[in-house]
Amino acid sequence: MNKPNIALTIAGTDPTGGAGVMADLKSFHACGVYGMAAVTSIVAQNTKGVQHIHNLEPEWLSEQLTSVFDDELPHAIKTGMIASKEMMQIIQNVLLKYPEIPYIIDPVMLAKSGDSLMNDDAKADLQNILLPYATVVTPNLPEAEEITGLSIDNEAAIYKAGKLFINEIGSKGIVIKGGHAEDLDVAKDYLFTKDDVYTFEEPRYDTQHTHGTGCTFSAVITAELAKGKTIYQAVKKAKKFISVSIKYTPEIGQGRGPVNHFAYMKKVGLDDE
């Protein structure tokens, strides 16, 4: 029997299961990939917002990663919520040791409720310590603005920001997600690589249940890269996956509910590509 493809997520928790490592593991499973997880922060949150954040000691993250890499190497690594510069440096050391493993960054800065998940110092540290090692970075428009310092209110600005990620920050691929551009009838994402620019469009659905979309989208990219897919193939799959997940939300919670992590598997199938 062949070993499964393995994806590792390094992120915070969500006890209601809509975001963080919980959403990542569900997404890995839905893509047919075995999921591993190292926790950075314990977050008390639900569909109504974030109530408390308890960041773990950096040493505890180091111990978790040592346990994983001493036993079995993942085929792709994803990071989400990272609490401190020390944690980022621990992750950087792993990336330097295993440069052949694709690395995906979901630059988690704000929860869907608007609650901040990263302070200003951590935002600057993310750009300097981790972004240059990224195979793919997946910011939404507000996150792309935070990282680049640009005002991104039109397509020309999106292109300028994408090129900045590639040419100045050093990321290999960048997906700027256009879901916050509410004036469009479609949700349009832009993938920038060193040589090409691609766009992906899916219908925009009128729902407040979008909790965990960023985590899920980047987790699917991670899973697909773990399976040996190209960046283009991985992003194409992730775009369709998140669209179907939003279309068939489970309507859970009193606020911004989670997406349906298993809708793609049930409605489209694992082998559509």
Tell me how many helices (H) and strands (E) the chain has.
9, 10
Which of these is catalytic: 212, 222, 227, 239?
212
Active site residue 178: no
Helix (H, G, I), strand (E, B) or coil at 124: helix
Active site residue 31: no
- Report the DSSP beta bridge partners of residue 50: 45
**Interacting residues of 3 by C-beta distance below 8 A, sequence separation 6+:** none
How far apart are the C-alpha atoms of 220 and 213, rounded to whole Å?
Answer: 11
Active site residue 148: no
Which of these is catalytic: 135, 213, 216, 249?
213
How far apart are the C-alpha atoms of 27 and 33, rounded to whole Å?
Answer: 9
Helix (H, G, I), strand (E, B) or coil at 250: coil
Assigned token pair, 105: 């960054």
Answer yes or no: are the C-beta atoms of 78 and 218 closer than 8 Å. Answer: yes
Active site residue 210: yes
Active site residue 214: yes
Active site residue 179: no
Q: Which segments of the chain does DSSP mark as H helices, in order?
A: 20-30, 58-69, 85-97, 120-129, 141-148, 155-164, 213-226, 231-247, 263-267
Which of these is catalytic: 78, 177, 227, 236?
177
Which of these is catalytic: 16, 47, 148, 210?
210
The dihedral over CA atoms of 78, 81, 84, 89, expressed in degrees to the nearest 10, equals 0
Which of these is catalytic: 215, 229, 237, 249?
215
Direct distance between the N- and C-terminal alpha carbons of the chain, in angstroms, rounded to an integer: 24
3-state helix, strand, coil in the chain (%, to 5): 40, 20, 40
Assigned token pair, 220: 């699917």
CA 18 to chain centre: 13
Active site residues: 177, 210, 212-215
